[in-house]
């Protein structure tokens, strides 16, 4: 996976993301794909706003994006790489597990998350991805994500 978004990057807007991922509001947690390579990696963006439904209760007066939703956003980023492969079109990527997850900084309204997931191992319909979320170049979370591809 490149360190920076490549010149001539393969971008996806929201409408194109909706053609790949089955997620819909309020659970679609990526706004734009900045670059990706089918079956290998994805770099995506999530603009975090005060209007996110989870901020109503997490936490009133001190809104912080829940860590489990950071992991879900990273998983959706990886799912774009997986489901963009021709043989996986129309399928879903299921979350199989999480290893080595760490949360380094709080994510608050106004933050712009850069999400990166590189698929490090695939064995048939299951595999592993190495994922990292940053805000302003600083790591806010990282994890190893396990996934399985299934028919809808």
Kindly state the average pLDDT of the residues 3-24. Answer: 90
Query: Is residue 52 predicted with pLDDT exceeding 80?
Result: yes
Question: Is residue 58 flagged as an active site residue?
Answer: yes
Q: Which pTM does this prediction carry?
A: 0.95
Ordered by start, the domain boundaries in the chain are 14-151
Distance CA 134, CA 116 (A): 9
pLDDT value for 1: 77
Among 10, 40, 45, 58, the active-site one is 58
Query: Is residue 8 predicted with pLDDT exceeding 90?
Result: no
- Which one, of 118, 64, 68, lies nearest residue 98 by Cα? 68
Q: How confident is the model at residue 152 (pLDDT cuts 50, 70, 90)?
A: confident
pLDDT in tens, 124-135: 899 999 999 999
Strands (E), the chain: 32-37, 41-47, 91-103, 112-123, 126-135, 138-151
Tell me the percentage of the chain whose pLDDT exceeds 90: 93
Query: Is residue 105 predicted with pLDDT exceeding 80?
Result: yes
pLDDT value for 148: 96
- Joined together, the tokens standing for residue 19 give 């053609």
Count CB atoms within 10 A of the CB of residue 23.
17
pLDDT value for 4: 77
pLDDT value for 53: 95
Fold of 14-151: Thiol Ester Dehydrase; Chain A (3.10.129)
């Amino acid at each position: 996976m490149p360190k920076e978004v490549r010149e001539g990057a393969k971008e996806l807007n929201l409408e194109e993301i909706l053609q790949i991922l089955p997620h819909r509001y309020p659970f679609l947690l990526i706004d734009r794909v900045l670059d990706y390579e089918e079956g290998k990696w994805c770099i995506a963006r999530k603009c975090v706003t005060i209007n996110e439904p989870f901020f109503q209760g997490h936490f009133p007066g001190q809104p912080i994006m829940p860590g489990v939703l950071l992991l879900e956003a990273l998983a959706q980023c990886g799912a774009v790489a997986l489901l963009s492969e021709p043989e996986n079109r129309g399928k879903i990527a299921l979350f199989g597990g999480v290893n080595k997850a760490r949360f380094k900084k709080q994510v608050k309204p106004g933050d712009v998350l850069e999400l990166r997931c590189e698929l490090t191992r695939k064995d048939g319909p299951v595999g592993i991805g190495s994922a990292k979320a940053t805000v302003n170049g600083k790591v806010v979370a990282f994890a190893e994500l396990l996934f399985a591809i299934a028919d809808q």
